[in-house]
Structure 1
Amino acid sequence: MATTQYIIGIDIGTTSTKAEIFTAQGEGIVQRTIAYPLYSPEPDIQEQNPDEIFDAVINSVSSLMVQSQISPSELLGICFSAAMHSLLAVDQDGKPLTQSITWADRRSAHWVKEIREKHNGKEIYHRTGTPIHAMSPFVKLVWLKHEQPELFERAAKFISIKEYILYRWLGNYVVDYSIASATGLLNMHTLDWDADALAIAGIDPDRLSRLVPTTCCLSPIHAKYAELMGVPEQVPVIVGSSDGVLANLGVGAISPGVVAVSVGTSGAVRTVLDQPKTDPDERLFCYALTEKHWVLGGAVNNGGLILRWVRDNLGDAEVNTAHLLEADPYNILTAIAATVPPGAEGLIFHPYLAGERTPLWGSSARGSLFGLALHHQKAHIIRAVLEGVVFNLKTVLDALQDQAGSVVSIRATGGFARSELWRQMLADILNHDVVVPESFEGSCFGAMLLGLVALGRIPSFEDAATFLGDHHHHQPISANVESYQKVIPIYNDLLALFQPTYGKIAALQASLHRLGESS
């Protein structure tokens, strides 16, 4: 009888590392999630400890091998997914000189205007596909060069968190085209580092990792780490890709017109093209999956973290109730939101609590509740918050359709996809059928599929669609669509009205914060 074979998909996320063992036929066997903190001693600082993340990766794989009780000899490979835009400076020995600076860190924001105006940022965007924004390692490097020059000069390499894991595992500095294309330093058309971007950042190519395809397989793993995880030293390690593009693969959004909408901590709307493309209005990113698969889309800062903000600041009673009932407080909050009709009786929320990427590309963007009246209660606020996240996603979808054509199908993934209310809200506001595949967490599943393609077990990404099953299917409810069609124009009008004030309110908040600290 043939021995069953397995593959591990690892997703290094912003708030946790998820790892899962799958059979070679794509069936999930065991999953493990290990969370870690995001350090924010000041509002603009959003960092993580790279060694905490490294330990989470080691421990998650070790736990999978113990729980699954599979034989190490049955393991085909390990493939990685990782969050984009992280930056970590390391010395000659590979020791971190900084924390892992995440996409959400805003300390470099004031360099964006200079890059756009003095260094023709528009041309850099059209070559690299990465909007000029504080999220990108390119902008972070400019900030470090000018504001922390001693540290900048000490750094032997500037890498992402996935590169750090791979270096410690394998002893090589490699970066896949996907993670590299999200740095703002990779020329999409040549698949090499962009000389002008590197010159502005003040670095040479030797201070970056070697570029490799996402399907690149490496070995061996250092013996001590292989032993800790319970895997063979020679097991193929597939470098893998970024979480965003793998979410598309993981939900089957690979064909033209098929759009993936994912909402975890942050969110994104993406589709796949066969060649790189940028947006004349610079609203969208374009990142590589492979040399022949390019993901065009827009990312938003404000996804599930907005609901977490509601839980932490408005949900004390619901958290206590959930604790007593041994329930999920988010389920209680969404159940409360469901008691309010679509449109939250005219309460409109702009979800820009963490600044915003698409469609604003402004670190100074701020959130707002507009239309508050005496009849509004907490349930209206919760509903408006959920709706505001989706209204914002619709602005991204509209921009995507401008460049990539009409939507054929929408496939949803991420933590929000667990909520029936949110799934229906997505269908109603986007006015389109929404399908949720069996795997809510598309990036881990996508890493597994990429690994099987890299190992020759699946002929192509298009053939990987046979591994997918549909779990939920939502159609727009006409009465809800009618309500939302009345809200959307006002949402957009308010956005245009508020945008010129975002910089002023952000400056005011910073000034008052400093006054508060000094008093």
Structure 2
Amino acid sequence: MADRVLIGIDNGGSETKCAVFSLDGRELAVASRRLPIEVPHPGWSERDAKRVWEMNVEAIREALSSAKVTGEQVAGVGLTGYGNGVCLVDENGEPTYKAVVSTDERADDICSEFAETGVERAIYPMTCQSTWAAQPAAMLVWFKRNMPEVLERTRWCLGIKDYIRFRLTGTFTTEMTEASSTCLLNLHTRSFDPAIFEALGIPELHRIMPPVCESCSAAGTISAEGAKETGLVEGTPVAAGYFDIDAAEFASGVADTETLCLIAGTWSINERLALEANTDYDKNKNTVTLGYRPGFFNVEESWPTSASNFDWFVSNLLAPGEESVSRSDLYAKCNAAVAALDPNESDVVFVPYLYGASYPSGADACFMGLTSYTTREHMLLAVYEGVCFSTLWNVHQLVGKDLTGRHVRLSGGVAKSHEWTQIMADVLGVPVETLANTELSAQGAAMSAGVAAGVYSDFDDAIAQAVRLGETVNPRPERVETYRRKFARYERALEALAVFGKE
């Protein structure tokens, strides 16, 4: 029989990707499709669910073709994607409304109401998390108040990957990690809790929540219709899959409570596994969900303070006048310029809050410490440093300031740059390991399919066989001291912004 492969499908906020992996974790092919987000009103984010399915079909067929494999070689299919948002469907799986994306803000006032009236405090011991606008906990209340006719037609409240799983298999399910982020699941009983729905004022909507599967279980098999549309084979196991942050953690090989998983892409996602979850509302500091491994919680600190800030800088301050230079060459020039600079030469601070942050509340991005000596290259270095400083600030919220004995796995756009990874290691003061593959969320989904299909005996076997490490970058002692000083300056900049933002 030809070599078997695993498929991971990642439905993200900006694009859909289908990746094909060998059983030993090699990335054989990736196909992607973009579908613009519809914004019918300020703060709303929607897509046509059927068009999302069509994008999945195209990506699956292209990935199989690019990898030069057939559906018969696919041992299993796994799913991942952005958590939250809602995809409401009737008993036949027909959407009753557009698929709401996780960036939707229409229920923001409802979350404020939950906090002010004590609802959030009441459910916190069960959910271990605060509410935010795109969570089903808030979205379902919004629909009840504003579009009750949609809920009258709705049989199932799904996440986007749950809808894709239905189109592949014909079954209605969700999985544990995404369900745990909805603020509707009791993290201790691992079930949708009627008491939470009662507290939110939507007790009648408990009925629309689908059965919850363990993430590495087979949640169905490819149906005859799914096979016809995708080129996959009827009967192929489809794993329940993962929330994308959990999938990336799995594919990063994070298997204990001491290793940090840092994903420095568009967002700065910083997470770790924990054996316990905080249930005290007054000590609420991090986002807590269920971990990709049963028995663990996932603790997360995520802000939009990563490479998206660098892209803005390149597009607005570097790219003009460089029309003849390709984007990849421009990035290479940036890396070379940063590598040539001594960080002691400039104390310019960049706070990477172009797209928002949590501390200080309402603060905007800024450069501080500009002088007549400052060059464009100094500002570029400050962007690299600012992203790393923000990561360190978040890591401190996760585990405290002593990183002794911690292991770090880094992925995302920052990890593609050796120069940037080196600064990250210098700022953190510990070795940083990168990953060889680029589509980690899709790989984590594929690994879940491998466990579900029996290709791997368990989580540890999947990690041993499929996780592929890249380079290990060690901190430079002399630069560690430099960046301790510069990080203290960065923290003073945050305090200045706290004062500046007060009215």
Structure 1 length-normalised TM: 0.86
Q: Shift in Å at residue 265 of structure 1?
A: 1.8
Residue aligning to 1:400: 398
Residue aligning to 2:85: 86
Q: Shift in Å at residue 474 of structure 1?
A: 0.8
Counterpart secondary structure, 1:321: coil
**Are 1:282 and 2:284 matched, yes or no?**
yes
Residue aligning to 1:33: 32
Structure 2: state its 5+ residue gaps.
Answer: none
Residue aligning to 2:247: 246
Q: 1:407 to 1:144 in 2, by over 3 A?
A: farther
CA distance in 1, matches of 2:71, 2:323: 43
Q: Give, as a single letter, the amino acid of the residue that structure 2 aligns with 1:384.
A: A
CA distance in 2, matches of 1:109, 1:343: 43
Q: Give, as a single letter, the amino acid of the residue that structure 2 aligns with 1:286.
A: V
Counterpart secondary structure, 2:33: strand
Residue aligning to 1:428: 426
CA distance in 2, matches of 1:349, 1:80: 37
Q: 1:469 to 1:171 in 2, by over 3 A?
A: closer
* Partners of 2:213 and 2:219 within 8 A in 1: no
CA distance in 1, matches of 2:139, 2:502: 20
Residue aligning to 1:304: 307
Q: Shift in Å at residue 31 of structure 1?
A: 2.3
Counterpart secondary structure, 1:25: coil
Residue aligning to 1:508: none
Structure 1: state its 5+ residue gaps.
Answer: 505-519
Q: Give, as a single letter, the amino acid of the residue that structure 1 aligns with 2:243.
A: S
CA distance in 1, matches of 2:375, 2:98: 41
* Partners of 2:125 and 2:279 within 8 A in 1: yes
Residue aligning to 1:514: none
* Partners of 2:300 and 2:398 within 8 A in 1: yes
Residue aligning to 1:415: 413
Residue aligning to 2:318: 315
* Partners of 1:178 and 1:290 within 8 A in 2: no
* Partners of 2:267 and 2:305 within 8 A in 1: yes
Larger relative contact order (Cα-Cα within 8 Å, sequence gap ≥ 6)? 2
Aligned residues: 498
**Are 1:76 and 2:75 matched, yes or no?**
yes
The CA RMSD over aligned residues, in Å, is 2.9
1:281-332 deviation digits (Å, cap 9, x = unpaired): 3221222224323222212223232223223333333762333xx7454334
Superposition map of 1:321-340 within 5 A: 321-323=324-326, 327-340=328-341
Q: Shift in Å at residue 424 of structure 1?
A: 0.9
1:225-268 deviation digits (Å, cap 9, x = unpaired): 31232111211111111110111111111122011101222121
* Partners of 1:417 and 1:440 within 8 A in 2: no
CA distance in 2, matches of 1:422, 1:350: 16
Superposition map of 1:12-411 within 5 A: 12-40=11-39, 44-91=43-90, 93-151=92-150, 154-199=153-198, 200=200, 202=202, 203-277=204-278, 281-288=283-290, 289-317=292-320, 320-323=323-326, 327-342=328-343, 345-356=346-357, 364-402=362-400, 407-411=405-409
Q: Shift in Å at residue 150 of structure 1?
A: 4.9
Structure 2 length-normalised TM: 0.89
Q: 1:44 to 1:493 in 2, by over 3 A?
A: farther
CA distance in 2, matches of 1:246, 1:102: 19
Q: Shift in Å at residue 452 of structure 1?
A: 1.6
Q: Give, as a single letter, the amino acid of the residue that structure 1 aligns with 2:386.
A: G
Q: 1:474 to 1:195 in 2, by over 3 A?
A: same
Residue aligning to 2:473: 474
Counterpart secondary structure, 2:235: coil
Counterpart secondary structure, 1:63: helix
Q: Shift in Å at residue 72 of structure 1?
A: 2.5
Q: Shift in Å at residue 395 of structure 1?
A: 1.6
Q: Give, as a single letter, the amino acid of the residue that structure 1 aligns with 2:140.
A: L
CA distance in 1, matches of 2:492, 2:146: 38
Query: Comparing 46-55 with 229-238, which one deviates more in the overlay?
Result: 46-55
Give identity over the alignment, percent.
23
Q: 1:75 to 1:413 in 2, by over 3 A?
A: same
Query: Comparing 471-480 with 336-345, which one deviates more in the overlay?
Result: 336-345
CA distance in 2, matches of 1:473, 1:238: 32
Counterpart secondary structure, 2:283: coil
